[in-house]
């Protein structure tokens, strides 16, 4: 068997399955500098068109996982399972900020490795970095100490976790191969396997604000992730959830942190966001054997919300990672606020029948709250609040959203996009189920 990069590319180009040894050699060659970016691009395009079997996907995921450090928690003698959740990304998707402390308060340990926003989707790290002093890229020692003492730590990918993924993803991003389901699967799971997890729940979005808007493709990705994760030894449940409208009626960075604080403190629990958060968190408790079934898991989660333990865990995590100790009590003292906050008013009466959720996300980008390139700076203060939801009856002159803007030009650009994204009509709105499929590995 030849293990030359060009022959491995040729085999996949011609539709042949790659042996695990060939996949291992190619990924190892990336780290050693023996495989060029041009060769990575060629193999990515070959995989895009020819696909990969489940066995190939498992082999690729394992090779990428072991391209760097693989965390182990055994020496910490933790009293519960190590669990995590990952989302394919959406708009107003604040779930991670609540789920991690909820699961930790219920007995799990959550080293959540999250990403930044790109395109129309928000990024958990960008949201957390709106908190003054919060260290989203701590040392390994600080991460382990925080997880042991607090129960959760939401951070970014370190340089030594699945480094081959960084190279492959960077190439995919500029070669129109991001949508490849085998490559998406290995990218997501290599980082999660490197985190040393005992269980994972995947939130695969579908609808107008999803990375893959069509349900069949979303379901295919969920099935691939659940199957490959199980094959690689990580118990996983994937839920396909609706992103046909923003999950919360806030989108941005600091505005979503405020939303999460209000949720954890009990000031509001919007039904859509609460429903998805509870569904994902309950799956984790069952996977981690912290509850015997989903009903009892949800009861346990409701208790840690109602008795304040989840809020306390979030506060302790923020402090442990360098943030202020009074963030929960005084968020406005610490979180940035935009200088211009103004409503976008409906031009006519009607019912909200459709929302182009991707366009809503892009309106946040237009305000400066997102990025189109990974190196772009982010304005943490800007965003949207009080967004209308599907099925709402709106009068002429009623706000469709409150825009938090840096200046008039930003407001005007966002307002135009919001008007175009929200359809008001006199019919009813078709609102899909929050959880549209469940796939267990």
Catalytic residue among 61, 65, 67, 87: 87
Catalytic residue among 61, 96, 177, 187, which? 187
Name the phi and psi angles at 41, rounded to 5.
-60, -40
> Is 187 in the active site?
yes
Query: Which secondary-structure segment (H or E) carries 42?
Result: helix 37-50
**What distance in Å separates the CA atoms of residue 140 and residue 71, rounded to the nearest whole number?**
9
Pairing assessment for the beta strands 110-114 and 152-156 based on DSSP bridges: parallel
Phi, psi dihedral angles at 110 (to 5 degrees): -125, 95
> Which pair of structure tokens corresponds to residue 367?
């305000």
Residue 202: count of CB within 10 angstroms of its CB: 28
Q: How far apart, in Å, are the Cα atoms of 382 and each of 119, 268, 336, 404?
A: 16, 21, 9, 5
Catalytic residue among 61, 88, 94, 124: 124
87 among known catalytic residues: yes
Name the token pair of 325: 């100790």
Residue 330: active-site member: no
Indicate the SS3 state at residue 271.
helix
Catalytic residue among 12, 62, 144, 191: 191
124 is an active site residue:
yes
The residue annotated as part of the active site, out of 192, 219, 334, 404, is 192
Question: What are the residues facing 150 on neighbouring strands?
Answer: none
The answer to whether 248 and 389 are in contact (CB under 8 A) is no
Report how far Cα 434 is from the mean position of its chain's Cα atoms.
17
Residue of 12, 57, 62, 84 with catalytic role = 84
CB 67 within 8 A of CB 162: yes
Q: Is there a contact between 441 and 233 (Cβ–Cβ < 8 Å)?
A: no
The residues, any chain, with a CB within 8 Å of residue 276's CB and separated by 6 or more, are 95, 203, 241, 247, 434, 435
Q: Which of 12, 57, 62, 85 is catalytic?
A: 85
Residues forming a β-bridge with 399 = 345
- Strand order through the sheet with 393-394: 393-394, 350-355, 422-425
Which among 84, 331, 41 is positioned nearest to 199, based on CA atoms? 84
Catalytic annotation on 333? no
Which residue among 12, 127, 172, 316 is the active-site one?
172
* Nearest-angstrom CA–CA distance, 127 and 256: 7
Question: Does the active-site annotation cover 353?
Answer: no
Distance CA 255, CA 262 (A): 11
Q: Which of 12, 57, 86, 219 is catalytic?
A: 86
Residues labelled as active-site residues = 84-87, 124, 172, 187, 191-192
């Amino acid at each position: 068997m030849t293990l030359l990069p060009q022959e491995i590319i040729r085999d996949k180009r011609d539709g042949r399955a790659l042996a695990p040894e060939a996949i291992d050699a190619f990924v190892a060659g990336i780290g050693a500098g023996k495989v060029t970016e041009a060769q990575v691009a060629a193999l990515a395009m070959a995989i895009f068109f020819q696909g990969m079997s489940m066995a190939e996907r498992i082999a690729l995921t394992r090779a990428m996982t072991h391209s760097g450090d693989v965390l182990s928690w055994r020496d910490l003698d933790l009293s519960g399972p190590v669990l995590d959740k990952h989302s394919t990304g959406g708009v107003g998707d604040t779930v991670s900020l609540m789920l991690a402390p909820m699961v930790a308060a219920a007995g799990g340990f959550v080293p959540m490795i999250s990403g930044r926003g790109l395109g129309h989707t928000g990024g958990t790290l960008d949201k957390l970095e709106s908190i003054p002093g919060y260290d989203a890229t701590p040392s390994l020692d600080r991460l382990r100490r925080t997880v042991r003492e607090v129960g959760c730590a939401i951070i970014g990918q370190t340089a030594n976790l699945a480094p081959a993924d960084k190279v492959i993803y960077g190439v995919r991003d500029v070669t129109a191969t991001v949508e490849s389901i085998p490559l998406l699967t290995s990218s997501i799971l290599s980082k999660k396997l490197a985190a040393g997890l005992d269980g994972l729940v995947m939130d695969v979005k579908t609808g107008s604000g999803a990375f893959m808007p069509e349900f069949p493709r979303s379901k295919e990705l969920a099935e691939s992730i659940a199957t490959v994760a199980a094959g690689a030894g990580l118990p996983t449940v994937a839920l396909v959830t609706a992103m046909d409208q923003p999950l919360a009626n806030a989108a941005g960075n600091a505005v979503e942190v405020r939303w999460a604080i209000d949720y954890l403190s009990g000031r509001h629990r919007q039904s859509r966001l609460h429903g998805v958060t509870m569904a994902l968190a309950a799956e984790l408790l069952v996977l981690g054997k912290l509850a015997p079934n989903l009903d009892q898991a949800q009861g346990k989660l409701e208790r840690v919300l109602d008795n304040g333990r989840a809020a306390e865990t979030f506060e302790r995590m923020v402090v442990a990672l360098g943030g202020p100790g009074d963030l929960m009590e005084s968020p406005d003292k610490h979180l940035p606020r935009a200088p211009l906050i103004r409503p976008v008013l409906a031009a006519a009466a009607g019912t909200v029948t459709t929302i182009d959720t991707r366009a809503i996300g892009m309106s946040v980008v237009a305000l400066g709250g997102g990025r189109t390139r990974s190196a772009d700076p982010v304005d943490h203060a800007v965003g949207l609040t009080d967004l209308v939801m599907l099925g709402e009856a709106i009068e002429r002159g009623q706000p469709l959203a409150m825009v938090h803007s840096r200046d008039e030009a930003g407001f005007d650009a966002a307002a135009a996009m919001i008007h175009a994204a929200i359809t008001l009509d006199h019919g009813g709105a078709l609102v899909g189920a929050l959880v549209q499929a469940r796939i267990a590995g």
